[in-house]
Amino acid sequence: MTLPTDGTAGWFSRIPTTQKIAFITIDDGWEKNPLALKLFQAARVPITLFLEINAIKADPGFFTPLQSAGAVIENHTISHPNLKGRPYAFQKQEICGGADQLAQYYGRRPVLFRPPGGTHDANTLKAVHDCGMKAAFFWTETTDHGKVFFQQGNTVQPGDIILMHFRPRFVDDFLAVLKAIHDAGLTPARLADYIP
C-alpha cells in the first residue's frame, strides 16, 4: 500500500490486503459505557478509537485505561462538523486542534483521522496531511443496535474497516462486530500497523 506524495493524506474505506484481518474502529466518545474496559480486556484485540474532543472533554480519563487494553486513540475533530465544502482554514483548525488536544490528553499525537460522517474534500486531505497525519478513513461496515450493516455482500471481507460508535447499545454492537469478524474467519488487526 502506498500513500500519496502530493501533499495530501491517503483516503481508505478498506485496506488492500489478502491477510485474514479486519479493523474495528469506534467513533466519537459521547457514551462512556462502564463495561467498555472489561469488554476490551476480555476480547484482547486491537481497536482504533477516533475520538471527538467535544465528546470526551468532560471525562478524557475514561479512555486512558482503554489504551492498555488494546485501543489506539486517533483523531475525529474538535466539534464533529461536516467538513466537505468548508474552507481549508476551518478544516485545518478542526483537524489540527483535535490532534493537538488528544496529544495533551493521551501523550501521543494521532497519525490517523476520520472525518465526521465520512464527508471530505481535497481541503480535508490536505489539512490532514498538513496536521501531521498520514491517512483518513471511511468504512465498509457499520453497526448499531447489535446488528452489523454491510455495504456490499453479507460478510466481512479481508481488509474491511468496521465503524462503531460509543452509543447506548455499545456492548451489543461490540459483540456483534466480534462475531461478524469471527464468522468471516478473520482476526481484528491494528489499523495504524497497515499505514506506512
The CATH number of the domain where 101 resides is what? 3.20.20.370
Residue 6 lies in a domain: no
Write out the chain's pLDDT in tens, 196 residues: 678 889 999 999 999 999 999 999 999 999 999 999 999 999 999 999 999 999 999 999 999 999 999 999 999 999 999 999 999 999 999 999 999 999 999 999 999 999 999 999 999 999 999 999 999 999 999 999 999 999 989 999 999 999 999 999 999 999 999 999 999 999 999 999 999 8
Residue 3 lies in a domain: no
Residue 7 lies in a domain: no
Residue 4: what pLDDT? Answer: 87
Residue 121 lies in a domain: yes
Residue 196: what pLDDT? Answer: 87
Residue 2: what pLDDT? Answer: 79
Residue 177 lies in a domain: yes
Range of the domain at 130: 13-194
Residue 5 lies in a domain: no
Distance CA 125, CA 192 (A): 17
Distance CA 179, CA 43 (A): 11
In the chain, the number of structural domains is 1
Residue 28 lies in a domain: yes
Residue 65: what pLDDT? Answer: 97
